[in-house]
Structure 1
Amino acid sequence: MNRAVIYEKFGGPEVLDVKETPEPHAAPGEVRVRVTAAGLNPMDWIIASLPEAAEQWGVTLPAGFGCDFAGVIDEVGPGAGDFVVGDRVFGGVMARAVADHVIVNIGPSALWPLARIPEGMSDETAAALPTPGLTAAAVVDTIGLGPDDTVLLGGAAGGVGVLTVQLAKLAGARVIGTASEGTFDFLRTLGAEPVTYGPGLADRVRELAPNGVTAAADLFGSETVEAALELGVAKQRITWIAAGESVPDGIRWSTGSDAAPGSLEKVARAIVAGEITVPIAARFGMDDIRDAVALQAERHVHGKIVVIP
């Protein structure tokens, strides 16, 4: 048998249960991974709580939970490339990651690439990386950051924000990040200059950057998009990841699927080299999944939440 987190109706953490399910096996073009860690993202509980979000991502009830994982391949189907039993790997599967085993399609239709975990990286760090790492890489690529840029990042202390700040710094950009005051010291350790979000954001940014802002990314909502437009940032240098229909026309949406090939491996190498950090805020066992999701949904965590099967 295989344990997995399952929900049979939409709702909050209370709908999540650990259940025994039939043990899965790898078909052609697939590998089976024994999960050693799963990283939680806001999209996980949003999909579980909102039917319209689940429909957008093709998730139907009953459903599994979580997308990002790390583990060890223990079964390889025919035509599964050069992966072998025993490979330490990380990647993503839609709404199935918090389980003892996951089946991963490694073909071109996969939403997440499957990558080998580099030497020197823990499984917990690898599990925290796929969705935010790919999204952060896509954001930086979309707005084309470089040494001549001053970039405004909205939601800089979130899971995607932490990595976007560091990738922007690696690209040579000056980074101003919106956040609550309680995260200011944390953001400064990453090299960002924090600014309080809320009404008057554009004016506060002008005080920090009197010579102007050249690019912006809104990693939560649309406030930063609006401030960037007020500051005169060109639309082609602005992007967003989770604002919905409230974003003006001409502002590009960035998702992990937009990341350049090899982006996940590139971010992983930067982590091993000590150029990027992925803070782990909390660890939970699978049986404590409701507590883990409740903490994630508060959106006040500085770092990633990891579930250990």
Structure 2
Amino acid sequence: MKAASYDAYAEDNSRLRYGDVPDPRVGPGQVLIEVRAAGVNPVDWKLMAGGLDAMIEAIFPVVPGWDVAGVVTATGPDTPEFGVGDEVFSYARMPIVRHGTFAEYVAVPAEFVARRPVALDWAQSAGLPLVGVTAWRMLNRLEVGPDDVLLVYNASGGVGGTAVQLGRERGARVIGTASPRNHDYVRGLGGEPVAYGDGQADRIRELAPNGVTAVADCVGGQLETTLAVLAPGGRHASIADPGVGEHGGMWVWARPDAAGLTELAALADQGALTVEIAKTFPLAEVGDAFDASRTGHTRGKLVLIP
């Protein structure tokens, strides 16, 4: 099959290749997915740069990618949950980085897989898993509910935009930081936008004089502002700053979770959750997709199409 791969760590695309790799094996409790679309996330090129080597082992050559939407073409032994032809999606992060989703086919444990939302197209379905499960888990950890004022940093990003929508669906009032050019986008998601940067704490306090009760940091480096605007007894979590634990916060990592994906799919099918696609790329142009992701200025998801 065709796939993207790299045979050594590199901070640029110099080790990244597109070509033939062995077909995946389908073990017990796994499903083989014909990839229709694969979402690109910053963690993909950060892994390629060796940024998580101390935490996650890599076996080279590595096929990158953790997000996928596609069609089940085979099942391993004892996999009654799925059958050939099922349309599914998955956050397919494995304990070892080796066989990822930037390929024509990928084998994934059934407990990582859910039926994809029919209201979303293939690209949107592939763009949802990592950002969706991350935001879902963060709001669960924060126990966000209708009595909360939720502050979301980077509300126009993938995780942040999803967190805004999930917060509003739970009945919370949501304030989201974003650049002025993205304020209308944040409003469209159901949030109250505020400009990030110098003076953002004052601007947040203008909107929430009594403080915010929950903070979802989706970018990192926001602890000073968080502590300045958090109401007494408030909760805060970050996906990018492990140091929040020293100040009463929670460092959140997404886990592969079919139950979470199923809930997200239901919300999408109810019209309560959507995914903005910034651009799609042919799988052979994975390097261009990584370059676009590295800019840090993309609104919406980047997606590869085999």
Q: When the two structures are superposed, what TM-score results if normalisation uses the length of structure 1?
A: 0.91
State the shift of 1:140 in Å: 1.1
**1:303 is aligned to 2:292:** no
Structure 2 segments unaligned to the other structure (5+ residues): none
State the shift of 1:242 in Å: 1.1
2:242 paired residue among 238, 241, 244: 244
State the shift of 1:247 in Å: 5.6
State the shift of 1:121 in Å: 3.0
Show the counterpart of 1:253: 251
Greater mean deviation of Cα atoms: 52-61 or 173-182: 52-61
User: 1: distance between equivalents of 2:291 and 2:285?
Assistant: 10
Kindly provide the amino acid, as one letter, of the partner of residue 155 in structure 2.
A
Structure 1 segments unaligned to the other structure (5+ residues): 108-112
**1:102 is aligned to 2:95:** no
State the shift of 1:193 in Å: 1.4
User: 2: distance between equivalents of 1:252 and 1:236?
Assistant: 12
Matching of residues 20-169 of structure 1 within 5 Å: 20-49=20-49, 51-94=50-93, 96-106=100-110, 113-169=112-168
State the shift of 1:117 in Å: 1.7
Show the counterpart of 1:110: none
User: 2: distance between equivalents of 1:273 and 1:246?
Assistant: 34
User: 1: distance between equivalents of 2:204 and 2:256?
Assistant: 28
Kindly provide the amino acid, as one letter, of the partner of residue 146 in structure 1.
G
Kindly provide the amino acid, as one letter, of the partner of residue 63 in structure 1.
V
| Structure with the higher strand share, 1 or 2 | 2
Q: 8 Å contact 1:229–1:235 — kept in the other structure? A: no
Show the counterpart of 2:284: 287
Secondary structure of 1:227 counterpart: helix
User: 2: distance between equivalents of 1:105 and 1:263?
Assistant: 15
Q: Figure out how many residues of one structure are paired with residues of the other and give that number.
A: 300
Identity over aligned pairs, percent: 38
Q: 8 Å contact 2:65–2:101 — kept in the other structure? A: yes
Show the counterpart of 1:12: 12
Q: 8 Å contact 2:215–2:235 — kept in the other structure? A: yes
User: 2: distance between equivalents of 1:154 and 1:121?
Assistant: 25
Q: When the two structures are superposed, what TM-score results if normalisation uses the length of structure 2?
A: 0.92
State the shift of 1:201 in Å: 2.1
Q: 8 Å contact 1:125–1:280 — kept in the other structure? A: yes
Greater mean deviation of Cα atoms: 28-37 or 190-199: 190-199
Secondary structure of 1:60 counterpart: strand
